Amino acid sequence: MMLRICNPTNAEPQNIKKMPFLQQRMNSQLEQLVMDQIVPSLLDQGFFYVDNFLGEFVGHIVLGQVKNIHHAGLLKDGQLAGRGIGVSKRDIRGDKIAWVSGAEKGCEAVNFLLTLIDNLISLCIGQLGIKIRERSKAMVACYPGNGTGYVKHVDNPNGDGRCVTCIYYLNKNWNAKEHGGILRIFPEGKSYVADIEPLFDRLLLFWSDRRNPHEVQPSYAQRYAITVWYFDSEERAAAKRRFRDLTGMTVIKSEMLHIFLNNNKINVMKYKEFIAEINSIFLIIL
């Protein structure tokens, strides 16, 4: 089933007041989509995508708001939890990102999108046997089109709580043969890969853990997406406890740690930079 919204006649892009009606209309469709397609696909394949999720009109507004964020200079280099020696960040991950809640001025349509995805996940919870009570902020991302991508990785390799990854794509007239930018999923235990083109108004969902290693292939045109992660409640609580224990230990034993690093000829500044990156990544997705 494809979700669609009829475009209001002569409506201006800023006319967000129409959205509550559209949302009410879509909620009944979401329930059927969840029961008929999303839950079976996640359980069997580990991923699912749906096209025409918002419809041309609302999707265009979301795209405009994302472009405004970009043009305002709010996108910064994507973060990494450490990197190999001699490997530049650009070789691993080439996107620019910003974190938004949807409550910011000028993000009304983004907030509407997030509300619909929240509703979708709420309908999935009981059927999938998972407990989800929170999610991350939305990560607005742009690959600038200079041939950068994101190497094969797992969103949640170490139990940080992320359970389901949801990505909404915003790229009109995208031609994968010309523009690249495919998200390739390597489903665990499967004999195939899944190539997902980042087409306008497409919503992709997949398990965030080691079941779905994936990569973003090099992009040769500007490639926009909005990503949110939903947290498994129990795993997230355990991850927060580990994080508090780690940071508490680091503060208490900072002097001893400094001596250890020096004695073992470990670069203290590189270590501190690494820890700062981990902290910022963990905290920003709370």
For residue 84, give both structure tokens: 């190999």
Using an 8 Å Cβ cutoff, are 213 and 153 in contact?
yes
Q: What is the pLDDT of residue 284?
A: 45
Q: What is the pLDDT of residue 245?
A: 78
CA-based end-to-end distance of the chain: 33
pTM beyond 0.85: the answer is no
Tell me the average pLDDT across 248-262.
56
Residue 276, pLDDT > 60, answer no
Tell me the average pLDDT across 247-274.
57
66 φ/ψ angles, rounded to the nearest 5 degrees: -65, -40
Residue 164, pLDDT > 80, answer yes
Q: What is the pLDDT of residue 244?
A: 80
pLDDT digits (tens, 9 = 90+) for 53-102: 999 999 999 999 999 999 999 999 876 544 443 344 556 788 899 999 99
What percent of the chain has pLDDT above 90?
Answer: 64
Q: What is the pLDDT of residue 78?
A: 78
Q: What is the pLDDT of residue 109?
A: 96
Q: Closest Cα to residue 232, out of 139, 102, 128, 76?
A: 128
Residue 216, pLDDT > 70, answer yes
Tell me the average pLDDT across 192-210.
97
pLDDT digits (tens, 9 = 90+) for 16-29: 444 555 555 567 78
181 φ/ψ angles, rounded to the nearest 5 degrees: 70, 15
The dihedral built from the CA positions of residue 35, 36, 37 and 39, taken in this order, carries a sign that is positive
Residue 166, pLDDT > 70, answer yes
Kindly give the interhelix angle for 108-128 and 19-33, rounded to the nearest 10 degrees: 20
CATH topology of domain 16-233: Jelly Rolls (2.60.120)
Burial classification of residue 126, based on how many CB atoms lie within 10 Å of its CB (0-12 exposed, 13-18 middle, 19 or more buried) = exposed
Judged by average pLDDT, the poorest of 94-98, 100-104, 207-211, 244-248 is 244-248
- DSSP-assigned beta bridge partners for residue 225: 141, 169
Q: Which residues contact 148 (CB under 8 A, 6 or more apart)?
A: 90, 93, 94, 95, 218, 219
pLDDT digits (tens, 9 = 90+) for 108-150: 999 999 999 999 999 999 889 899 999 999 999 999 999 999 9
Residue 1, pLDDT > 50, answer no
Residue 4, pLDDT > 50, answer no
- DSSP-assigned beta bridge partners for residue 150: 93, 216
Q: What is the pLDDT of residue 28?
A: 77
Give the angle subtended at the CA of 20 by the CAs of 58 and 200, to the nearest 5°.
20
Q: What is the average pLDDT value for the chain, to the nearest integer?
A: 82
Q: What is the pLDDT of residue 74?
A: 94
Tell me the domain boundaries of the chain.
16-233
275: three-class secondary structure by DSSP: helix
Q: What is the pLDDT of residue 29?
A: 81
Using an 8 Å Cβ cutoff, are 32 and 38 in contact?
no
CA distance 30 to 62: 19
Q: Which residue has the higher pLDDT, 7 or 141?
A: 141
For residue 282, give both structure tokens: 């963990």
| Residue 193 DSSP label | -
Q: What is the pLDDT of residue 25?
A: 55
